[in-house]
Amino acid sequence: MSKGVDKEATIRQLYTELNKFGTNGEYDKAVKSANKIITLDSNEIKAAQCKLVALIQLSKFEEAIKFLDRSQLANTTFERAYCEYRLNQPENAFKTIQNSGLKTPLPANLRELKAQILYKLEKYEECFELYKDIIKSTHDDYDDERTTNLSAVAANLAVEDPTKETPAFREDTYELSYNNACALAGKGKFIEAEKKLRASEKLCREFFEDDGATEDEIQEELAIIKVQLAYCLQMQGKTKEALIIYSDALKNKSKDPALTAVASNNSVAINKDQNMFDSKKKIKSAMSDACEHKLTSRQKKIISLNNCLLALYTNQSECHVLANRLANHYEDLEFSAILIRASQMIKDKKYKEAVEVLEAFAKKEPSQEFTVKFAIVQIYLLSGNKKAAIEILNSLGETKYRPGVVSALVTLYLGTDNKSAASSILKNAVDWYKKNKGNTDGDLTDMWRQAADFHLRGGEAETAAKSLEELFRSNPNDMKILAQLVIAYAQFNPKKAQEASKKLPTLETLTTQSEIDNLEATNWMMIAKAVKKKPAASTKTDQSPGTPGSELAKQKKKRNRKRKGKLPKNYDENAQPDPERWLPKYERTGYRKKRDRRVKEIIKGSQGTSSAQADIYDMSKSYNQSKQSPATPAETTPGPRLLQRKNQHKKKKGKH
């Protein structure tokens, strides 16, 4: 009996400690106390519940789930689902709630958790409806947080379907302003989104400054707004500004791995095929394990695609492996993966294999056959096989009459010197568009014009007239087209040409006197000196002969008269002129160069020796020279020698 009393007293004392540790937030000690109680009595449910809460507070979610599996605790749906959600297992958490057997409506805490799980599972429509219901039925201190979450869901819905209308939210907090900007960016309204992001940045700074936060804390919170702003700038074509913001965000090393991944990926997209070493490092950080559970499936898909493209740009051997992995993970990117594989094969000069890969995909996906054929045409053109490219384009059926395809066929036919085939494809295109006037979209003016010019140059005036007629119907006020039509008619039907020419404007309406004067004054076909310059309109008034200006004008005219060229005094018309008269004097044959007296002329002696060399071997002369002065140039004393060189250098400078 005394043992039972002691046991109850010990449990009571342990509960007192457990309550104390829980109140003070000492959850490690609380777990130990709870374990002691459970050891003494395994039926103590309150101690088990306290232990579960303490484990969750310590973020020991795996241990908490194991404890739930061992214990017999009831009504722990929320705790189990929360642990699974925090362990990045949203599918398991969703199943736990669905299989709980609880009646709807669910308890408030489970509804909030379910909304978070639906957001993580990217079921945005269900999440949006659930949050709307929670906001209507709940009123407490967390209303602002729920509204912010609802605006985040709306922003993701806008990204998924830009045409879908989303509700407008207030913008009194920086989070709401940021989410509204994201919704606008998802709809492609990047200029409006940029304005809201700048406003959000300002609100964020003011909020944290009033709260007494440090500059580092403010910059950490501003980082996500700045990266989203950089994205809007990038989509507007302001890549330099965007790249600066991305670089700053990466330098500051944000604690959010998703932010780092997005900034790195977007920088790689701006770099394209430049700065490959930098792009490799950034794409590696974007694909790290830390980012796996932080990014949405859409973000992960784009990063994987960019990684595959980077492997193609850098000509890596693993490009095919990455492309296959991309196709297996994302069905909607299978065609992109096939194109990347084909591009790598083209780089390796494996044109036949590239065509086979594309043809196999076209058989598997008939809806992509049209696009695949154009890719195959591109491969044939790169390999220089024009005939095969023409065959593929001709196999497109009625699609080959599209202006772009017609233009490509004409160019290819002319490249293979098949003018008749080029002419026939243009004729067929003209006939097809005449029959299918209601089924055509877009402006065909350029195609009609090119067809008409081609046939006129080829001497097929009747065919050219058909194109010009269609062109004139769409542009009845274009007189240039009408003039071309008259020229075409004149070659095979003069009556039609005469009737059409009556619609042409008269020459007087086309040109005025001022236009003719301008044409004559321009020097487009003449030398500038030969242009006849007309006086300005203000100077055209005649002056009286007595005015001083008229006398000056006469004097100028006299001065400007061209003088006759003077001839030499002894000029003989019958004599033949000197053929070297245009050459400089020193280049003429009779020119004798004057001897420079300052240069001593070397006179050659017998046996080819010069007089200077003979003096060297004349011993009598060398003996006489040695007698002349005691200080000869052969002296080796250092002082006078250096002084002598300095004097010589000065003399040379004086000559220059």
pLDDT at 633 over 50: no
Cα(379)–Cα(457) distance, rounded to whole angstroms?
32
Domain presence at residue 218: no
pLDDT recorded at residue 652: 43
pLDDT in tens, 276-320: 899 999 999 999 888 888 999 999 999 999 999 999 999 888 899
CB atoms within 10 A of CB 260: 24
Q: What is the pLDDT confidence band of residue 515, given thresholds at 50, 70 and 90?
A: low
Mean pLDDT, rounded, for 577-585 = 82
pLDDT in tens, 13-39: 999 999 999 999 999 999 999 999 999
Mean pLDDT, rounded, for 250-256 = 89
Cβ neighbours of residue 51 under 8 Å, at least 6 residues apart? Answer: 30, 31, 34, 35, 38, 67
Backbone angles phi, psi at 134, to 5 degrees: -65, -45
pLDDT at 583 over 50: yes
CB atoms within 10 A of CB 268: 25
Between 401 and 321, whose confidence is greater?
A: 321
Domain presence at residue 33: yes
Between 525 and 394, whose confidence is greater?
A: 394
* DSSP state for residue 541 in the 8-state scheme: S
- Angle at the Cα of 497 (from 495 to 502), degrees rounded to 5? 100
Cβ neighbours of residue 35 under 8 Å, at least 6 residues apart? Answer: 51
Alpha-carbon distances, residue 457 vs 318, 407, 419, 541, 653 (angstroms): 53, 17, 11, 51, 74
pLDDT recorded at residue 34: 93
- Stretch among 7-21, 145-159, 336-350, 635-649 having the lowest mean pLDDT: 635-649
Backbone angles phi, psi at 507, to 5 degrees: -65, -35
Rg (CA), the chain: 47
pLDDT recorded at residue 620: 47
pLDDT at 240 over 60: yes
pLDDT in tens, 134-144: 999 888 888 89
Alpha-carbon distances, residue 333 vs 129, 366, 426 (angstroms): 30, 16, 37
Domain presence at residue 338: no
pLDDT in tens, 411-470: 888 888 887 887 788 778 777 877 776 455 555 566 666 666 666 666 667 667 766 776
Q: How many residues does the chain have?
A: 656
Q: How many domains does the chain have?
A: 1
Q: What is the pLDDT confidence band of residue 553, given thresholds at 50, 70 and 90?
A: low
Tokens found for residue 478: 């274009």
Alpha-carbon distances, residue 171 vs 147, 167, 504, 516, 565 (angstroms): 11, 13, 64, 66, 91
CB atoms within 10 A of CB 526: 11
Backbone angles phi, psi at 327, to 5 degrees: -65, -35
Cβ neighbours of residue 235 under 8 Å, at least 6 residues apart? Answer: 185, 190
Residue type (1 letter), 458: G
Q: What is the pLDDT confidence band of residue 57, given thresholds at 50, 70 and 90?
A: very high
Q: What is the pLDDT confidence band of residue 206, given thresholds at 50, 70 and 90?
A: very high
pLDDT recorded at residue 3: 59
pLDDT recorded at residue 459: 67
Collapsed DSSP state (helix, strand, coil) of residue 604: strand
pLDDT in tens, 562-580: 666 777 777 777 888 778 8
CB atoms within 10 A of CB 53: 17
Computed over every residue of the chain, the mean pLDDT equals 80
Mean pLDDT, rounded, for 219-232 = 95
Q: What is the pLDDT confidence band of residue 536, given thresholds at 50, 70 and 90?
A: very low
Mean pLDDT, rounded, for 359-385 = 90
Task: Return the closest-CA partner of residue 428 out of 459, 396, 457.
Answer: 396
Contact 365, 335 (CB under 8 A): yes
Q: Is the peptide bond before 505 cis (omega within 30 degrees of 0)?
A: no
Residue type (1 letter), 260: T
Domain presence at residue 156: yes
CATH number, domain at 84?
Answer: 1.25.40.10
CB atoms within 10 A of CB 23: 9
Cα(478)–Cα(462) distance, rounded to whole angstroms?
20
Burial of 316 by CB count in 10 Å (0-12 exposed, 13-18 middle, 19+ buried)?
A: middle
* DSSP state for residue 537 in the 8-state scheme: G
Cα(630)–Cα(434) distance, rounded to whole angstroms?
116
pLDDT recorded at residue 470: 66
Contact 375, 388 (CB under 8 A): no
pLDDT recorded at residue 263: 94
Domain presence at residue 135: yes
pLDDT recorded at residue 554: 54
Domain presence at residue 418: no
Domain presence at residue 549: no
Domain presence at residue 2: yes
Parent domain of 141: 1-160
